Structure formats: structure tokens, C-alpha cells
Structure 1
Amino acid sequence: LNPPLFFEIVEDQVYRSNKCDASSIPFLATLQLNTVVYLSYDDLSRDLAAFFAEKEINVIHLGMKYRTASSQWKGISEGMAKEAIECILDQRRHPILVMCKTGVHFAGTMIGCLRRLQNWSLTSTIDKYRNIAGSVKTRFENEQFIELFDVDLVTLPQQLPSWFTVHQRLMV
């Protein structure tokens, strides 16, 4: 089995990776995914799209939804981040894979924003982003987005995963 590049278990039944090729499909099949949140502006490959359709995996293409003429240069919008995190936190969508073209820039930024919502320290959150992005190249604007993202924008879904609720109780 060939995991996608930058594959990572984020939390129980929450994964992130790059937009992988057909060689990673057998690995993805083992995850028994229910949802894929795709953050890049381009389309999925035919192989991936066919696999997701065959397995009845719900693909939420936020990159396409939030694409504007200038978005290629702006990166992630607050709306995209809010919606992606709300998808990640909705237990009914699990197991869920968050993916972008590189597996680093958009997916890494989303996971960084999630970590902020989980009350991780900013230093730990940015260090984790840099650790993964290091081989591709970190982007200051992504780090800044993670730092400045307003976690109060996120509306918590009705059915939260236990890993989130347990952590929230510990923070009280």
C-alpha cells in the first residue's frame, strides 16, 4: 500500500494528504472514507474522482466554491476555512480526508486553524505546519492566516467528534 504524500492522521478518523495519484487509491480504500474536503482550485484527477464516486464518498470541493479571479494569489479565505473546519468537526462526515494539491499549503493551513480552535499554542501550531511544509517550503502568508484566523467564526456542528468534546471539557 502506498500512502499519499504528506498523509497524516490528524485526529481519530480525520486525515490529511496531497491530491494523490492512482497508486494511492488502494491505501485510501482502507480508510473507508465518508467525506473528502478538497481545498485546491483545480479538479481531481479522473482516477480519484472515479474512485470517490464508486465508493460513494462525498467530495466537498471548497477550492472550486471559493475560487475567484484573484484567489489563486490570495490563498485561503476565511469563508473556506470556516466551512472546512465545520466539515471536519461534523462527526456525521467521518472518516474524513482533507486534501489539497500539495498536501501542505491549504490542508496544512486548515489543520493549523483547527488546532487554534482546539486551543493549541500558536507556537506549537506553527511548528507543526513548518515541520510538514519544510520540505515543500513554508509560506509566511499561511502562518499569518493561522495566527489571525478568528476561531469564533466557526459554528460548531450538532454532532461533534469525541476527540473534540473531550478536549473542550478539559479546557473548562
Structure 2
Amino acid sequence: MQLPSLIPPFRYAMIEEYLFRGGYPKPRNLRFLKRLRLKTILSLIPNPLTPEVQEFCKQHNILLIHIQVDKMKEDNIPLSYNKTLMALQILIDPANHPLYLHCLDGADVTGLIVACLRKLQMWSTTSAMSEFSR
């Protein structure tokens, strides 16, 4: 019998040990995410995750944190100062690790939060923005 494929979420990457990022997890990604032994999923999206993903989190004792963040638009960055601080506090707390951070596409909102994390880690703006653009 062949096991189902391990398919990472769109734009999946490791930020650093125990911190991962990517796009909205789809059912086909759950087997892959299970192998990360996550304690927390931090969702920066407009609506709560699908019932299937919520059930996955419940079954595997994963804390699911949803911070409502609207879709990114060309003329609007949907992250407020308070939501950014909330996300960073969750991200830097080792009690929440291993953690998977995601927005809808795994790039825009997630990238901004990771850039803020890098500034918190004393990275230069050039280095943080270089990582963001990759």
C-alpha cells in the first residue's frame, strides 16, 4: 500500500527552528503539517479556517489562533499596529513552538510579519526587505 504524498502548503518555508510559514493549509497539506508536530497554527486571514482544518487541529492538539486580517490590496495594508504586535507576541513565545504562520497566499501578510520579526531580531532593514522580496 502506498501512503499519500507529503505535500507542503504553497510557499512553505522554515523561518527558523520551530517556526514555519506558508499559504493557507489545504486538506492535501495536513499529512505534511502533521509531521512538523505543531503546537500552534497562527492564521492571519479574513475568515476562520475550514472545518476540516479545525478538526485536524483538534485531533492533533494544535492550538489554532485566528487573527482576522483582510485581504491585501494594492492600496491597503490590512495589518494594524495592534494585530502586528499580537502576531509577534505569539510568534516569539517558545511555548507556542513549533508554529506554522500563514495568510491566504503565504506571501504578503505573512511576509510583513516575518519582516517585523527580523527587525525585532535586529536585522538590518535591507536584509529584512531582501528576505521579504524573495
- TM-score, normalization by structure 2: 0.87
1:43: how far off?
Answer: 2.1
1:26: how far off?
Answer: 0.5
Q: 1:22 aligns with which of 23, 27, 36?
A: 27
For residues 74-123 of structure 1, give each alpha carbon's deviation from its aligned partner in whole angstroms, at most 9, with x where no partner exists: 41011111111111111111111111111111111100000000111111
Rg larger in 1 or in 2? 1
| Partner amino acid, structure 1, of 2:59 | E
Match of 2:120 in 1: 117
User: Following the alignment from structure 2 to structure 1, what is the Cα–Cα distance between the partners of residues 21 and 9?
Assistant: 9
1:62 to 2:67 alignment: yes
Unaligned runs of 5+ in 2: 1-5, 71-75
Instruction: Determine helix, strand or coil for the equivalent of 2:9.
Output: coil
State how many pairs are aligned: 124
Deviation >6 Å, runs of 4+: none
Q: From the two aligned structures, give the one with the greater strand fraction.
A: 2
Unaligned runs of 5+ in 1: 68-72, 132-172
Q: From the two aligned structures, give the one with the greater helix fraction.
A: 1
Instruction: Determine helix, strand or coil for the equivalent of 2:7.
Output: coil
Task: State the identity %.
Answer: 27
Q: 2:11 aligns with which of 6, 9, 12?
A: 6
Match of 2:88 in 1: 85
| Partner amino acid, structure 2, of 1:37 | L
Instruction: Determine helix, strand or coil for the equivalent of 2:106.
Output: coil
Q: 1:33 aligns with which of 18, 35, 38?
A: 38
For residues 5-30 of structure 1, give each alpha carbon's deviation from its aligned partner in whole angstroms, at most 9, with x where no partner exists: 11111011011111121111100000
